[in-house]
Amino acid sequence: MSDPTRSSPRHPTSERKPSFGRSSRGSLPLTISASPVDRVEEFFDEAEFESRRQRVRAVLRERDLDAILVSSPENVYYLAGLNHYGYFAVTILILPLDGPPLLFARAMEAPTIAEQCRDIRHLPFGDAEDPGEVLAVALRSSGLAGARLGIELDHMFLPPRVAQTVQRALPTAWTDASGIVEELRMVKSAAELAYTREAARISDRAAGAAIAAAGSGVNERHIAAEVYRTMIDAGGDLTGFPALIRSDRTLRFEHIVWRDHELDKGERLFVELAGCVRRYHAPQGRLLFIGPASDRDRRAADVTIEAIEAAQGALHPGAISGDVYAAWQAVVDRAAGSPQPKRHHVGYGTGLGFPPSWVGASMVPGIRPDGRMVIREGMVFHLMSWLVGSALGDYLVSDTAVITATGVEILTTTPRVVQELA
């Protein structure tokens, strides 16, 4: 019988059978690593990765788990440093209580993994193989057949068929471990915050480009082109979510992008974007006016800005997210003279993100009415104040905010003023 460990993992077999376990020795592929001097780029040092892994392992011990299978690209990046766009195919990091992490990914990703990931054992599967079956064999061969395993069930990057296949093939104790890594990621390290600050700088430049480009007779596509040109020229990476650029006709359509439309006098233009550096984002949003703003919208702008400042004042370590929301709502209700409809949130956690989002999770960790999230130093939020379609008029503003030891620091600095463009 041939030994598959003697052939390169970059050349998968054409048979739809697991490649692990066919060796007479039952061996797994060796750890692939690149010399530190050969690495193209390293975003975090070894101590940072080890600290993250140990904090995850501490939670695993609390939950009586032997290992966790991590499937979101953000969580894989956070624990292993893998920064690529091949996660459309099954990519799972297996973090055991002891020993190096194992990265289950397509065989063709071997060079990237060797370049970017320290002390990671790559468990490859071929394109003609069933990843669920191969994963089950890999777990068994790694000594995890009878282990208590956590799996992230709420992520879109773990196909249900793969999850079902591996759980049927390996009838061990499976536990939903969704949210373990995300909860730890909510508090950013100094290195993560440094990248977020760089992203905010790029976000400000891109917002400035949008303001400079917009005006009567200008196509929304041109504004989008200037935004992306500026972000890339300023050192930005591909963002996890597109820039949202839309005018009156589509102003209330929350998640659509630019269209083939020339702006007219009297229209409003919504621009929400984020710079991205090493996968860390700093979103901000502004509502621009093509021509003079109406008195009603100017009044809405005053209320919107006062409300976001009230939310900022309520943000500090130990605060409760529902109280932060209440501070925002109180300003709006007082200005309107009566209770106004509540929004779904006035901000959400942001930072590390891969397409399709800069939230970095399947569920949005928002600052919601009656929310119970405890605010902690090092958290980063996209703080929003939104009165589009309200009884008070139309205006919105949003910025990236980091929680400090004493309160909050706003990282994006585009002026919060009514912008009237010719």
In this prediction, residue 25 carries a pLDDT of 32
**What is the distance between the alpha carbons of residues 284 and 286, in angstroms, rounded to a whole number?**
7
Closest CA to 178 of 196, 158, 199: 158
Amino acid at position 352, single letter: L
Residues 6+ apart with CB under 8 A from 205: 230, 231, 234, 275
Quote the pTM value: 0.89
In this prediction, residue 389 carries a pLDDT of 86
SS3 381: strand
Per-position pLDDT tens, the chain of length 422: 333 333 333 333 333 444 443 333 333 444 444 444 455 567 899 999 999 999 999 999 999 999 999 999 999 999 999 999 999 999 999 999 999 999 999 999 999 999 999 889 999 999 999 999 999 999 999 999 999 999 999 889 999 999 999 999 998 889 999 999 999 999 999 999 999 999 999 999 999 999 999 999 999 999 999 999 999 999 999 999 999 999 999 999 989 999 999 999 999 999 999 999 999 999 999 999 999 999 999 999 999 999 999 999 999 999 999 999 999 999 999 999 999 999 999 999 999 999 999 997 777 889 999 999 999 999 999 999 999 889 899 999 999 999 999 999 999 999 999 999 99
**What is the distance between the alpha carbons of residues 344 and 394, in angstroms, rounded to a whole number?**
17
Q: Which domains does the chain have, with CATH numbers?
A: 4-185 (3.40.350.10), 190-421 (3.90.230.10)
| Contact yes or no for 379/402 (Cβ under 8 A) | yes
Phi-psi region of 359 (alpha: psi -120 to 50; beta: other; left: phi over 0): alpha
Amino acid at position 183, single letter: E
**What is the distance between the alpha carbons of residues 201 and 181, in angstroms, rounded to a whole number?**
27
